[in-house]
Amino acid sequence: MAEASADQYAAGEQGLGYIYQPRFGLLKLLQLPESTSILIEKDDDLDFIDKDGVKTLASLKHKGIGDRLTDLSTDFWKSVRIWLARYNRDGRSEASLRFFLFSTGTVSSTSFLRRFLLESPAEDGEVMSLSQIASYVLAKTESKLIGSIAEEFHKLNDDEKEDFLSRIVIFDSGPRIEDVPSIIKDQHMRSIRRDNRDAIFERLEGWWNDTIVNLLVGKRTDPIFGYEISDKLSAFAEEYKSDNLPITFRGRVPAGEIDADNDPRLFVAQLREIGIASNRIRNAILDYYRAFEQRSSWARESLLVSGEMEEYEDRLVDEWSRYRDVIFEELDEQSADAVLLEAGKALYRWVDLESGNSSTLRIRERVTEPYVVRGGFHILANSRPLPRVYWHPRFLDRVGQVLGATA
């Protein structure tokens, strides 16, 4: 178990607290009904709204290991200050509000805060009301901060104090930030193969964090609903089934500029040989990049069966050779350069415009992303020492010259 830092200036737990909010919010929204929605940094750290419009304001406290909540813990009373402001704003006893405090620390066994636990301990004999105990505790404080909160609390009448305090629930000993992923995978991804859970969780959290950022910067104004997480998780899981593969490089671009006119790679040189325009070569470079990186990602995640990629490339070469034979059928040794050039363009036109939409050229039945196919042909056109596919009918005769020019 890691030890808490003794450095008084250390900000580790505070920093963790900020990134804890979205991760904990994802966990809670998975645990709550799908009709529940969430906002972040609105009225509190997290706001949960149920289907009936009841809002739960949640304060999150990611504390150092061994931390305890006591009667005058500022973590509790700072949250009370926020909740009091919202309670007053929304009409006090008329407010449709609840107040939850989630802490990784524990409530001290001697603190009256135990009365706020979801399963509060039974009390022997007559006990004071919550408002009486809270008033007694507040009277003992020497803190200016807590003293100012006490002033706001005492502006409520006795019934309002009881009503306000009755809305508070403390959940202590909560999961730490590093524990949340395993909880989500173990409790909410049981229908997904164990081998794929890490990858799917990574994608789910990536989508979730992007959505949270959009919410924080105002690109999204509506709360996030639980069913959105269910739908996204289901969609990701579908990509990892036996007839599918995840598509994670759609829209991605390589680092640095794309130089279609000077790129030395063989597949690009082939396109220049048949006079393909720079903007189309740029598209080919993007297809190559996305297909290459996608394959690498599948390999890292062990999603391909043994020999699957080799068999797929053989299929691409076979289809290419069949179409090549049709396009080149009327050519002979006396064919003019212009005719040869046009034949090469026609063969590449099939790859560029038609192959990506062909169901027979998919690596798996439900992998429909065109860059997988188009990029696959460019990978084959880039093979060394000789390309496995080419466009110009005489390219193999001139390959040595072209390779020399691109070396």
Taking only the tens place, the pLDDT of each residue in 76-99 is 999 999 999 999 999 999 999 999
Phi first, then psi: what are they for 35, rounded to 5°? -75, -10
What gap in Å lies between CA 47 and CA 56, rounded to an integer? 6
139-160 mean pLDDT: 95
Is 209 part of any domain? no
Q: Do 177 and 282 share a domain, yes or no?
A: no
For residues 33 and 135, membership in a common domain is answered with yes
29 and 165 part of one domain: yes
Q: What is the pLDDT of residue 407?
A: 46
Residues 18-36, mean pLDDT to the nearest whole number = 96
pLDDT in tens, 291-340: 999 999 999 999 999 999 999 999 999 999 999 999 999 999 999 999 99
Same domain flag for 274 and 165: no
In a domain, 236, yes or no: no
Is there a single domain that holds both residue 54 and residue 179? yes
- Bridge partners of residue 99, in order along the sequence: 57, 168
* Residue 21 and residue 168 in one domain: yes
Domain region containing 379: 266-406
Helix axes 370-381, 266-273, angle to 10 degrees: 90
17 phi, psi to nearest 5 deg = -60, -35
Q: Which of 391, 243, 284 is nearest to 327 (CA)?
A: 391
Long-range CB contact pairs, 11-19, < 8 A, 24+: 13/62, 13/63, 13/64, 16/62, 16/177, 17/60, 17/61, 17/62, 19/177
CA distance 296 to 124: 65
CB 240 within 8 A of CB 192: yes
pLDDT-derived band at 10, boundaries 50, 70, 90: very low
**What b/e readout covers 32-62, taking b as 16+ CB neighbours within 10 angstroms?**
eeeebbbbbeebbbbbbbeeeeebbbbbbbb
Give residue 121's pLDDT: 73
Give percent of the chain with pLDDT exceeding 90.
88
More confident residue, 145 or 126: 145
pLDDT band at 404 (very low <50, low <70, confident <90, very high): low
Q: Do 270 and 352 contact (CB within 8 A), yes or no?
A: no
| Residue at a domain's end among 144, 174, 189 | 189
- Contact between 45 and 100 (Cβ < 8 Å): no
Domain count, the chain: 2
**Amino acid at residue number 18:** Y
pLDDT digits (tens, 9 = 90+) for 340-392: 999 999 999 999 999 999 999 999 999 999 999 999 999 999 999 899 999 99
Phi, psi of 101 (to 5 degrees): -115, 115
Residue 17: per-residue pLDDT: 76
Structural domain contains residue 91: yes
Dihedral over Cα of 347, 350, 353, 357: its sign: negative
Residues 148 and 276 occupy one common structural domain = no
Of 174, 189, 204, the last residue of a domain is 189
Residues 240-257, mean pLDDT to the nearest whole number: 94
Is residue 202 in a domain?
Answer: no
Instruction: Give the Cα separation of 102 and 268 in Å (integer).
Output: 57
- Structural contact between residues 20 and 177, judged by C-beta atoms closer than 8 angstroms: yes
What pLDDT does 267 receive? 97
* Cβ 293 vs Cβ 369: under 8 Å: no
Q: Are residues 144 and 52 in the same domain?
A: yes
CA distance 252 to 339: 37
DSSP state of 351: I
**37 and 155, same domain (yes or no):** yes
Does residue 5 carry a pLDDT above 90? no
Does 7 score more than 80 pLDDT?
no
Residue 395 lies in a domain: yes
